[in-house]
Amino acid sequence: MKIALLFGSSGLIGSHILLKLIKNNNYHKIKIFVRSDPTIYDKKLEIIKTDFKNLKNYKDNIRGDDCFFCIGTTRKKTPNKDEYRRVEYEIPVEIAQIAKSNSVDSFVYVSSISANPKSSGAYLRHKGEVEEELKKLNFPVLGILRPSFLMGKRKEKRIFEKIGILFFRMISPLFLGPLKKMKPIHSEKIAEVMIKIPQKNYNKTIFESNEIAELTLN
CATH number of the domain where residue 189 is located: 3.40.50.720
The answer to whether 73 and 110 are in contact (CB under 8 A) is no
Number of domains composing the chain? 1
Residue 165 Ramachandran class (φ > 0 left, ψ -120 to 50 alpha, else beta): alpha
The helix (H) or strand (E) run that includes residue 126 is helix 122-136
Q: How far apart are CA 61 and CA 49, in angstroms?
A: 11
Residue range 10-35: mean pLDDT, rounded: 95
Q: Check whether 81 has a pLDDT greater than 60.
A: yes
pLDDT, tens digit, 9 for 90 and up, residues 170-217: 655 655 555 566 678 889 999 999 999 999 988 899 999 999 988 987
5-21 burial code (b ≥16 CB/10 A, e <16): bbbbbbbbbbbbbbebb
- Looking at residue 102, its pLDDT comes to 98
Residue 93's SS3 state is helix
Q: How far apart are CA 69 and CA 66, in angstroms?
A: 10
pLDDT, tens digit, 9 for 90 and up, residues 37-51: 888 889 999 999 999
pLDDT band at residue 162 under the 50/70/90 scheme: low
Q: How far apart are CA 209 and CA 216, in angstroms?
A: 11
pLDDT band at residue 166 under the 50/70/90 scheme: low
Dihedral sign of CA atoms 155, 159, 161, 164 in order: positive
- Which DSSP category does 178 fall into? G
pLDDT, tens digit, 9 for 90 and up, residues 92-149: 999 999 999 999 999 999 999 999 999 999 999 999 999 999 999 999 999 999 998 8
Q: Check whether 154 has a pLDDT greater than 70.
A: no
**For the chain, what's the residue count?**
218
138-154 burial code (b ≥16 CB/10 A, e <16): ebebbbbbbbbbbbbee
- Looking at residue 185, its pLDDT comes to 87
- Report CA-CA distances (Å) from 97 to 43, 92, 125, 167: 29, 9, 20, 39
Q: Which domain holds residue 194?
A: 2-215
Q: Which of 65-74, 155-164, 202-211 is predicted with the least confidence, judged by mean pLDDT?
A: 155-164
Q: How far apart are CA 210 and CA 165, in angstroms?
A: 15
The answer to whether 191 and 13 are in contact (CB under 8 A) is yes
- Looking at residue 176, its pLDDT comes to 55
Q: How far apart are CA 166 and CA 170, in angstroms?
A: 6
The answer to whether 74 and 126 are in contact (CB under 8 A) is no
